[in-house]
Amino acid sequence: MIFPMVGLNSICRPTQWKTISTSQLLEDGFPVYGANGKIGFYSSYTHEHPTVMITCRGATCGNIHISDSKSYINGNAMAFDCIDEKLVDIKYLKYCLENRGFSDVISGSAQPQITRQGLSKVEIPLPSLLIQKQIAEILEKADQLRKDCQQMEQELNNLVQAVFIDMFGDPVSNPKGWVIETLSDLGEIKGGLQVTSKRSSNPIEVPYLRVANVYRDKLNLDVIKTIRVTQNEIEKTKLNFGDVLFVEGHGNPDEVGRSSVWKNEIPLCVHQNHLIRFRPSDRVLPDYISAYTNSSSGKRQLLGMSKTTSGLNTLSTSNVSSLKCLVPPLELQKKYIEIIESINDKRLLNEKIIYDHECTFNSLMQKAFRGELNLNNRAA
């Protein structure tokens, strides 16, 4: 089935409303939408009924949302006003625009933006209202499955933090009176190799880990790069089972210092200088150290130590060395790891389900706007 194409401007009027500053936001009132969803409340609203809006400034330019009733839509988002709901279903419009994307509409490099003029060239397929509602209903159900799994992922992450606090107490107040030591007292800390073009003459090529491979208590090894090194460099930077890797620098303050444990996933692997390696002594378990440094207390400490240069938050090996850590008995650390491994098994299963739902949703999106969805042969 081929759907007729219509210009976006023929079914709505893209409008930017006056921006409310952060200082004007209230603790209660009508919800205010900024570039990426709700940002607070205000005493009045711009839209009586729900409408589609698009982020029109910044790194997330092109994101689509639907507002609640009686909402204020700020100037960082463009509201699609005057949608005739007798002709257009707003949920269908949201999914249709998400599927289309706005890469051909976004302008500006330093500050990406979408303008009304840019939107004037956007066309979308527009079947009858009945078919729009059928498509939106199918996509909404598939979308909800994704969101449910993403919510489960967040709940499992919260459970990890809750288990830590329950077993060891708040690291700041240390109510259980554990010994506190710096990481330098608990193991060896070392930087990595600098990646430069001058390495092409080195005799040995080996895989290496970089920032893109290390997340909080998780490694992503989908893409592994190689580096040319000397035998001496291998001896100094080869990763051993149980090494804890810290991200040295990141543009997002919340991600600086994130850590994960290396478990010999690749037989011979080194690490670059944007990762800092901690090799624990037999007094602490690597998974416990990684969990501690990824806890709210560890994150706070590392962020407080970091320096900001040109928008990048960075740590040094001396910063990581001075991180203060609770040192509970090994038996308690082991018990904690057993519980976390059980939670991680659930995480892995949930990640697979998320992937499957993502694939299903994307496939349905592609079929929906090509007119290939099975709509039970219901006539428009």
Helix/strand/coil (H/E/C) assignment for every residue in the chain: CCCCEEEHHHCCEEECCCCCCHHHCECCCEEEEECCEEEEEECCCCECCCCEEEECECCCCCCEEECCCCEEECCCEEEEECCCCCCCCHHHHHHHHHHHCCCCCCECCCCCECCHHHHCCCEEECCCHHHHHHHHHHHHHHHHHHHHHHHHHHHHHHHHHHHHHHHHCCCCCCCCCCEEEEHHHHEEEECCECCCHHHHHCCEEEEEECHHHEECCEECCCCCEEEEECHHHHHHHCCCCCCEEEECEECCHHHCCCEEECCCCCCCCEEECCEEEEEECCCCCHHHHHHHHCCHHHHHHHHHHCEEECCEEECCHHHHHCCEEEECCHHHHHHHHHHHHHHHHHHHHHHHHHHHHHHHHHHHHHHHCCCCCCCCCCCC
- What is the average pLDDT value for the chain, to the nearest integer? 91
pLDDT value at residue 376: 66
283-311 average pLDDT score: 87
- pTM for this predicted structure: 0.73
Tell me where in the chain the CATH 3.90.220.20 domain(s) lie.
5-126, 179-327
- Who wins on pLDDT, 2 or 15? 15
Does residue 134 carry a pLDDT above 80?
yes
pLDDT value at residue 100: 93
pLDDT value at residue 60: 87
pLDDT band at residue 380 using 50, 70 and 90 as cut-offs: very low
pLDDT in tens, 199-214: 888 999 999 999 999 9
pLDDT in tens, 43-100: 999 999 999 999 998 888 999 999 999 999 999 899 999 998 899 999 999 999 999 9
326-342 average pLDDT score: 94
pLDDT value at residue 253: 84
pLDDT band at residue 374 using 50, 70 and 90 as cut-offs: confident
Percentage of the chain with pLDDT > 70?
98
- Tell me which CATH code domain 5-126 carries: 3.90.220.20
Does residue 160 carry a pLDDT above 90?
no
Does residue 11 carry a pLDDT above 60?
yes
How far is residue 100 from each of residues 11, 112, 113, 298, measured CA to CA in Å? 16, 18, 17, 41
Does residue 154 carry a pLDDT above 60?
yes
pLDDT in tens, 19-49: 999 899 999 999 999 988 899 999 999 999 9
State the Cα angle at 164 between 158 and 167, rounded to 5°: 135
207-222 average pLDDT score: 93
Cβ neighbour number for residue 380 with a 10 Å cutoff: 11
The CATH number for 179-327, chosen from 3.90.220.20, 3.40.630.30, 3.30.420.40, 3.40.930.10, is 3.90.220.20
* Pick from 25-29, 254-258, 278-282: least confident: 254-258
The CATH number for 129-172+328-380, chosen from 1.10.287, 3.40.50, 1.10.3470, 3.30.1490, is 1.10.287
Does residue 309 carry a pLDDT above 90?
no
Tell me where in the chain the CATH 1.10.287 domain(s) lie.
129-172+328-380
